[in-house]
Amino acid sequence: MTYAYLFKYIIIGDTGVGKSCLLLQFTDKRFQPVHDLTIGVEFGARMVNIDGKQIKLQIWDTAGQESFRSITRSYYRGAAGALLVYDITRRETFNHLTSWLEDARQHSSSNMVIMLIGNKSDLESRRDVKREEGEAFAREHGLIFMETSAKTACNVEEAFINTAKEIYRKIQQGLFDVHNEANGIKIGPQQCISTSVGPSASQRNSRDVGSNSGCC
């Protein structure tokens, strides 16, 4: 299938926060409660439509374990978007965000769009990290923020698509050099750059910090 752009995403965060489940929910629309630990990279892909353009999301799901951290770092290169995930029921996964963010900033393009995700929002009774804390962290570090549930699919679509919208907005604003592969954006095989990059910069549909679709 043809596409206007391909965006490379990377999903990062501590082990067990639900990175692979988020990917599975987004690509296959299903939830698998028991999931093998990820080693190396697992791939997922899906087409989305942003502003009338077909965009292919190539998603790299990485290992969250500390032991694989050095391997994971090598996959940041060329990512246009990152989903930085923590588990709202495990405070330590939130505490480690700074470290993940440092890695992401250090090993990727400065323009990379980062979506902070507080996952497992269905487990409200076991909540250990307040929503406001996630929002504050995102605001402080210039991230987009959403709480999601890979189990109920709440906000999963929005998290991936809003990240794509933000990347697309940056392309329109000329912040991303789409010819530089290091930015994690590739022009589709049949696209002409002059027609792919629309002139309008008023298409911003992505939600800002703290927004959600209301289901969580």
Residues 173-212, one symbol each (x = binds another protein by CB under 8 A, - = not), give --------x----x--xxxx--xx----------------
Give the C-alpha separation, 171 to 4, whole Å: 12
**Nearest to another protein of 64, 137 (CB atom):** 64
Residue written as token pair 């990485």: 62
153 forms part of the interface with another protein (CB under 8 A): no
| CB 23 to another protein: min, Å | 12
Among 46, 51, 54, 65, binds another protein (CB under 8 A): 65
54 forms part of the interface with another protein (CB under 8 A): no
**Nearest to another protein of 8, 165 (CB atom):** 8
**Nearest to another protein of 187, 209 (CB atom):** 187
Rounded to the nearest 5 percent, the helix, strand and coil shares of the chain are 35, 25, 45
Question: Interacting stretch for another protein, rule CB under 8 A, among 29-37, 91-99, 130-138, 208-216?
Answer: 29-37
**Nearest to another protein of 67, 173 (CB atom):** 67
Give the C-alpha separation, 177 to 174, whole Å: 7
**Nearest to another protein of 42, 128 (CB atom):** 42
Q: Please state whether 83 falls in left (phi above 0), alpha (psi between -120 and 50) or beta.
A: beta
Q: From start to end of 14-161, where are the E strands?
A: 41-50, 53-62, 81-87, 113-119, 144-147
**Nearest to another protein of 165, 186 (CB atom):** 186
* Cα angle, residue 180 at apex, residues 174 and 183 outer, rounded to 5°: 75
Q: How far is CA 10 from CA 102, 108, 132, 136, 198, in A?
A: 15, 10, 25, 23, 26
**What's at 16, amino acid-wise?**
G
Residues that bind another protein (CB under 8 A): 6, 15-16, 28, 30-37, 39-43, 45, 58, 65-68, 71, 74, 151, 181, 186, 189-192, 195-196
